Structure 1
Amino acid sequence: MKFIERYLGGEDSTAVYDDIYGLGKKAFGIEHFDDVQAVLIETFNRVAFNLQVIYHELNKINYVFKTTFTNNSDKPLVAPLPNSDNLISDLENAVADFGKIPLSLKLFYKIVGTCNFAWDYESQPDLLWEGADPIQIDSLDDLVVYVTTDDWKEYIRESLEYNEDEVPTLELAADYLHKDNISGGPAYSLQITRNESIDSLFLNEPNETTFIDYLRICMENCGFPGDSAFRQHQSYKDFYAKVKPQLKSI
């Protein structure tokens, strides 16, 4: 049975992805790639659908999103940019000295776009749910601007030279403390892989998992994969009870 048939048939998605990851570089071969890519496309279509549902329901409870924007990464939801293919090429060229962009991130930007469900603490300092760690992935155009600077490349080179255990990464989101307006730690960052890869590790994020699995955890928790304490708020329980049945499993 093909991977996409298993995925659409309702098999545990983690098992499907485990088998895909188990292929290694064979996942990009002619025998498997179309099938593998079909699973990822379906996954990110579901992510895009879920984010729209969550955003709609958050607006209903007057969740405080940013309303003034300096760039696309500030906006709650941005559809895929019309020049995504060109921007992804720019991104791949920028990181070529250090490795490859995982297919998962490229398809996220082509199908989902970007999202930022962080609370706007500048306009409303009292957070609705402290420690909720709302989903946030920087916009492709902002990421390209950042990594195409000489400063970024020099920073990565120095990091790799200074620490032999360091890996090149792309910073994609603030950590949970920064999202709560507390001086926090390093940004959540996707590992740039040495060779072509389906997915890679999403580093510095508390779940210590891959990018796709991070998104799965976010969807399981209606966009808020944070600590257990905030889940005791009745407002979150009510939100979860209403939203979770509407979401598609990824």
Structure 2
Amino acid sequence: MTRITVINPNTSGALTNTITAAAQAVSSADVTVTGVNPTVGVPSVESHAEETIAAVGVLDLVRARQADTDAYVIACFGDTGVHAAREVATCPVVGMTEAALQTACLVAHRFVVITMPPRTIAHSARVIRELGLEHRCTVVAVDVPVADLMGGSSHLLDAFTEAARAAMATDGAEAVVLGCAGLADLVAPMSRVLDVPVVDGVAAGVGIAAGLVAMGLNTSRANTFAAVELP
């Protein structure tokens, strides 16, 4: 049995439950998913300052869960704390943003990332730049706070669909990446309405994490992510 811990970097237990349920729904029978979040930190990650605080919570959870985890998925679009977590974790660490972008590359030549709220465009753009994918995607935003996802995301269907259609018309997008955790409710209806692939980063992250474990692959310790022991 492969044990995957999904870390929601903010302190919202309600959002963690939503994310965990979505991750479990796409997991195979031999994968167990446990969702966790810090008890101290920020209720949402919508700024650079909040991201810095949340990254500390990610590291604390990685260290606390080592004995019970075969792979981690960090469920925040912008991959909060992922690089640091890879130095500390004894197993693979997958960021939902990297997972979503790499998955989109496999199903479309060009795609659009729809994030929320607008100030977080910079967080998505950072990961896109690190992966060298600026030529294959564009980033747009829906102007709602992350707090709007606490009860699900189906009420955002029209706004996300409109943003996707605009990107398809003006930028040639052929697939959609949902740029925030907790948006899994939109995958099926948007896929049906738009007739293009719609990628949820948490689902992509869980699938990739399980695959890494199955292949016996872990983070390279050769240089960049050499193990770090924290006090």
- Shorter-chain-normalised TM-score: which range? under 0.3
Q: Which has the larger radius of gyration?
A: 1
Q: TM-score, normalised by structure 1?
A: 0.26
Higher strand fraction (1 or 2):
2
Q: TM-score, normalised by structure 2?
A: 0.27
